[in-house]
Amino acid sequence: MSAQTSTSASSHDTKLSVGVPADTKDAVKVLSVTHWNDRLFHFEVERPSSFRFRSGEFVMIGLLNDEGKPLLRAYSIAAPFWSETLAFYSIKVQDGPLTSKLQNIAVGDYIIMKTKPVGTLVLDALIPGKRLYMIATGTGIAPFASLIRDPEVYEQYDEVILTHTCRETDELAYGKWLIEETKKDPLIGELAAAQLRYYPTTTRDESPKMGRITTLIENGTLYEDLNVPPLSAETDRVMICGSMGLNTDVKALLEAAGLEEGANSKPATYVLEKAFVG
């Protein structure tokens, strides 16, 4: 299935708007919406002029509920810090309080975006190294959509490896598009083409590379495929973003290899953040 992108408000006319009034506190305008399938979409919004963030951080975004109160959820910013616009990559949970509505936003609608970025998937929480792994499952790729377009990532690391594991092949489409866009970007493309490696895998659909990333690390397939040495606390740094189960399991593998969890206040050799709660 191919992605459906809207950048004009024409499709908006036929359905009821789910957006918030333009004069709502912290409202930002939706500029484009791309539906990848019936479970995933991404959208761009206007960037408030004074808004600053570090690559990998998240903010609270949302709509108003039926009582007119903000209904907000955490979302990783899926755009580079230097971009004129912001972007988010989202799940569609059919009975989810926010995303059952948010999936219907259209160009020209407004959503709420609180302007306090936070998070641990930042370069500042890692000590220097040679190779940076970014391990994502599902929508956990979103913070890396920001980080892989940060020139400092390529200054600090010789090699950047983004792994993305999903159940089904169509869930990899956004990541594939992201890598293609990054490698042809006028600012970051040359660095990314030389230093960024992408390793997509599926766990349910047949695809060229199958298996959970934890299995591929444990049995050495990841290292063989990429022709890199096994994880080392001396040279490797890791950022993880997935479900609680993924984060816990990768954390155990990293700690067995001698890596230590870092934080903004105490940088170390790996960092993690939940891609969702539950």
Ligand X SMILES: Cc1cc2nc3c(=O)[nH]c(=O)nc-3n(C[C@H](O)[C@H](O)[C@H](O)COP(=O)(O)OP(=O)(O)OC[C@H]3O[C@@H](n4cnc5c(N)ncnc54)[C@H](O)[C@@H]3O)c2cc1C
Ligand Y SMILES: NC(=O)c1ccc[n+]([C@@H]2O[C@H](COP(=O)([O-])OP(=O)(O)OC[C@H]3O[C@@H](n4cnc5c(N)ncnc54)[C@H](OP(=O)(O)O)[C@@H]3O)[C@@H](O)[C@H]2O)c1
Q: Which residues bind ligand Y (CB under 6 A)?
A: 137-138, 165-168, 203-204, 212-214, 242-243, 245-246, 249
Q: Measured between alpha carbons, how far is 278 from 266 in angstroms, rounded to an integer?
A: 27
Beta-carbon count within 10 A of 246 CB: 23
SS3 label, residue 198: strand
| Neighbouring C-beta atoms of residue 131, cutoff 10 Å | 20
Interaction between residue 278 and ligand X (CB under 6 A): yes
In three-state secondary structure terms, 166 is strand
Q: Which of residues 30-69 bind ligand X (CB under 6 A)?
A: 58
At 175, give phi and psi (nearest 5°). Answer: -60, -40
The item of ligand X, ligand Y, none sharing an interface with residue 114, based on CB under 5 to 8 Å by kind, is: none
With CB under 5 to 8 Å by kind, the binding choice for 104 among ligand X, ligand Y, none is none
First to last CA, the chain: 28
Closest approach, Cβ 272 to ligand X, in A, equals 10
Q: Which is nearer to ligand Y, 146 or 214 (CB)?
A: 214
Q: Is residue 245 a contact residue for ligand X (CB under 6 A)? A: no
Under the binding rule (CB under 6 A), the answer on residue 93 touching ligand X is yes
Closest approach, Cβ 116 to ligand X, in A, equals 13
Nearer to ligand X, 171 or 236 (CB): 171
x/- letters, 107..146, toward ligand X (CB under 6 A) = -------------------------------xx--x----
Written as six digits, the tokens of 205 are 């659909």
Burial class for 204, CB neighbours closer than 10 Å (0-12, 13-18, 19+): exposed
Lookup result for tokens 């930002």: 28
User: Residue 137 binds which entry of ligand X, ligand Y, none, with Cβ cut-offs from 5 to 8 Å by kind?
Assistant: ligand Y
- Out of 3, 18, 31, 74, the only residue in the binding site for ligand X (CB under 6 A) is 74
Residue 197 binds which of ligand X, ligand Y, none (CB < 5-8 A, kind-dependent)? none
Stretch that binds ligand X, among 22-30, 92-100, 122-130, 176-184 (CB under 6 A): 92-100
Joined together, the tokens standing for residue 232 give 């080392």
Task: Select from 269, 273, 200 the least CA-distant residue to 238.
Answer: 269
CB of 156 or CB of 215, closer to ligand Y: 215
CB of 159 to ligand X, least distance (A): 25
List the 131-137 sheet strands across, edge first. Answer: 196-202, 159-166, 131-137, 236-242, 270-274
Residue from 27, 33, 86, 98 binding ligand X (CB under 6 A): 98
Sign of the Cα torsion 59, 87, 120, 150 reads: negative
Question: What number of other Cβ atoms are within 10 A of residue 12's Cβ?
Answer: 19
Q: Which of ligand Y, ligand X, none sits in contact with 89, Cβ below 5 to 8 A by type? A: ligand X
Dmax (CA) of the chain: 57
CB of 134 to ligand Y, least distance (A): 15
Instruction: Work out whether 277 is an interface residue with ligand X (CB under 6 A).
Output: yes
Interface positions with ligand X (CB under 6 A)? 58, 73-76, 88-91, 93, 96-100, 138-139, 142, 273-278
